[in-house]
Amino acid sequence: MKTFLRSLAVLTVTVLLLGLAACADTETDSLQRVKNAGEISFAMSGGYPPFNFYSQDNELVGFDVDVAREVATRMGLTLKPVTTEWSGIIEGLRSGVYDGILGSMAVTEDRLKVVNFSTPYYYSGAQLMVKSGSPLALPADIKGRIVGVVTGTTFADDAAKLGAGEVKLYKDDTQTLTELSSGVVDGVITDRVVGVNAMNSGKFDIVPLGAPLRSEDIAVAFNKDDTTLLAEVDRILAAMHEDGTLARLSVKWLKTDITTK
């Protein structure tokens, strides 16, 4: 009987050790995971010029795309950009569809509850845009009127704080600014750089109304468990800040440096 119990105990310990080893194999370190794959995937909307958008040649380009490519290069990896609707972009990250979100995502308290963020790679602000010739003089004048924002952005909260009568949701800012230029909505809240860039492009009959509503820190989002991957990207972004790469890419796409506060 004692021999049987001793054998059973040895067998139990062996099974437990094998189980732990199997868990260790499946829970691959996040940095090692992308190195094993030889690529890193970053998600963005693809409809957010000049940060990430499709050119006339149907090529994904922009500030975010260049930053993502430089990060991948410094990691010795190939960049795999993924475009997806903003409304479900965090759910896609948490489901493991891509490794991170590098698509001009602002750091917020609500988002920090479900994802982690890198050090910011640029700084911007929420801006109310209106149609040229609008009778509105101040952002507060938008109260009771129709405001367009992209689904899943923080700008819906800004519209609510201004007392918008209706907040219309859109897929991307090409749609919001087209609706504004056409007079369908009375205002659009978006990133200030996006709004001014759209105005300067000549494609939209719009102007900014007042100063930015608030500032935003823009960073790369990662899953809560991907701590080693986050640490490596933080190290690379710090180096890109230090050597001027981020500033150079900002000037290339935005004609100004928005990488420092």
Residues recorded for the chain: 261
Instruction: State which H helix or E strand residue 30 sits in.
Output: helix 30-37
Is 3.90.1300.10 the CATH classification of the domain at 30-121+217-254? Answer: no
- In this prediction the pTM is 0.81
Class of domain 124-215: alpha beta
User: Would you say the CATH fold of 124-215 matches that of 30-121+217-254?
Assistant: yes
Domain ranges across the chain = 1-28, 30-121+217-254, 124-215
Give the pair of three-digit tokens for residue 12.
Answer: 């139990």
Instruction: State which H helix or E strand residue 218 sits in.
Output: strand 214-223
The single-letter code of the amino acid at 75 is M
Of 122, 116, 138, 144, which is closest to residue 208 (Cα–Cα)? 138
pLDDT tens digits, the chain, 261 residues: what are they?
A: 444 444 444 444 444 444 444 443 435 799 999 999 999 999 999 999 999 999 999 999 999 999 999 999 999 999 999 999 999 999 999 999 999 999 999 999 999 999 999 999 999 999 999 999 999 999 999 999 999 999 999 999 999 999 999 999 999 999 999 999 999 999 999 999 999 989 998 899 999 999 999 999 999 999 999 999 999 999 999 999 999 999 999 999 998 899 998
